[in-house]
Amino acid sequence: MKGRVFSGMRPSGRLHIGNYLGALQNWVALQEEYQCVYCAVDVHALTTVQGEATKEIRSDIREMVLDWLAAGIDPQRSILFVQSHVPEVMVLHTLLSMVTPLGWLLRVPTFKERVRQMHETEEAVSYGLVGYPVLMTADIILYKADTVPVGEDQLPHLELAREIVRRFNHIYGPTFPEPQPKLTQAPLIIGLDGQNKMSKSLDNQVELAATEEETRQRVMQAFTDPQRIRRTDPGRPWVCNVYSLHKHFNPDKLDWVYEGCTKATLGCVEDKRLLAEGINCALAPFRERRRELEAKPGLVDEVLRDGASRAQEIARKTLSEAMERMGLR
């Protein structure tokens, strides 16, 4: 029997090439070997999004799911759904919170980091934020998934999920499989600022769904080797992020670019033009599919409705099993 994959993504709107190379591409490939359940985690989004800003969540989900579909996530083979559409996860979260020591949650490094980023104290952050990994555990085990593709940053959460599962199974008898992380050899994609990981919040991204012209304009603003000031200065491709991006979008021109850059026969402007072309060329089929999908009214809603109903069928069974184990049924 095929194993089951679960993974979640926060609804961040249109995805960028870093999301694609880091996660989405891998999600697509896993469909060959696993029964996959992919979730837009809107409840998790509420740990950091509040008030007016929550009005964007629904359109962010739509944009993200269009990217999933255009990239090749197949809604027939896989289950695609929105976390809050299967509210059983919030019930399981509450049940799991009863077997999760608070100390485990306070020690999670991503929690400490978040608290710092939010300029808050541990006392002031929401109860929901502390429970973030418990909700994530509920996501995974509600579907009894055994395999969870994640980036390195999520490993502490997965470790905690396994601990919660072990503890539940120890107290109430074997109920859930221990989920295994599947580390995807995700290349670190640096954004156009040449310094930070590509991310929407830093506005240093190239969106998958951008037009060719938008792509050109953004790539032309990218930072290259800061020490290459005049056109005649030789560049250092090994410190240049545009060069790193060529590895993904112009693999056949790498040697030529390297030589041109180090010998100053290729200027940064031409170099970036070449990168924009490479990106546009690689993404052309994706963009074409996305336009077709966008034009079908109701498509995303229909996919998500169907996904939620298939997910809920599994969720209900698992939840009643957990409630029974815990003496509630």
- By CB under 6 A, name the binding residues for ligand TRP: 6-8, 10, 41, 44, 136, 139-140, 148, 150, 154
**CB closer to ligand TRP, 149 vs 278:** 149
Q: What is the DSSP letter of 4?
A: E
Q: How far apart (Å, rounded) are the C-alpha atoms in residues 211 and 280?
A: 8
**CB closer to ligand TRP, 91 vs 282:** 91
Shortest-Cβ-distance residue relative to ligand TRP: 8
Q: Report the DSSP beta bridge partners of residue 81.
A: 39
311 residue type, one letter:
A
Q: How far is the CB of 195 from ligand TRP (least distance, A)?
A: 22
Contact assessment for residue 70 and residue 289, using Cβ atoms and an 8 Å cutoff: yes
**CB closer to ligand TRP, 140 vs 242:** 140
Identify which of 126, 133, 128, 141 has the alpha carbon closest to the alpha carbon of residue 109. Answer: 133
Q: How far is the CB of 261 from ligand TRP (least distance, A)?
A: 35
Helices (H), 173-327: 212-220, 241-249, 254-262, 268-294, 299-325
Two tokens, residue 152: 């390195």
Q: How far is the CB of 193 from ligand TRP (least distance, A)?
A: 22
Contact assessment for residue 86 and residue 79, using Cβ atoms and an 8 Å cutoff: no
Q: How far is the CB of 41 from ligand TRP (least distance, A)?
A: 4
Q: How far is CA 176 from the centre of its chain?
A: 24
Task: Calculate the alpha carbon distances from 171 to 106, 157, 164, 272, 273 in Å.
Answer: 22, 21, 11, 59, 61
Q: How far is the CB of 56 from ligand TRP (least distance, A)?
A: 17
Q: How far is the CB of 297 from ligand TRP (least distance, A)?
A: 29
**CB closer to ligand TRP, 141 vs 245:** 141
Q: Is 298 left (phi over 0), alpha (psi -120 to 50) or beta?
A: left
Q: How far is the CB of 209 from ligand TRP (least distance, A)?
A: 20
**CB closer to ligand TRP, 8 vs 13:** 8
Residue keyed to tokens 């808050």: 120
**CB closer to ligand TRP, 150 vs 165:** 150
**CB closer to ligand TRP, 115 vs 268:** 115
Identify which of 139, 115, 138 has the alpha carbon closest to the alpha carbon of residue 39. Answer: 139
Two tokens, residue 195: 């310094």
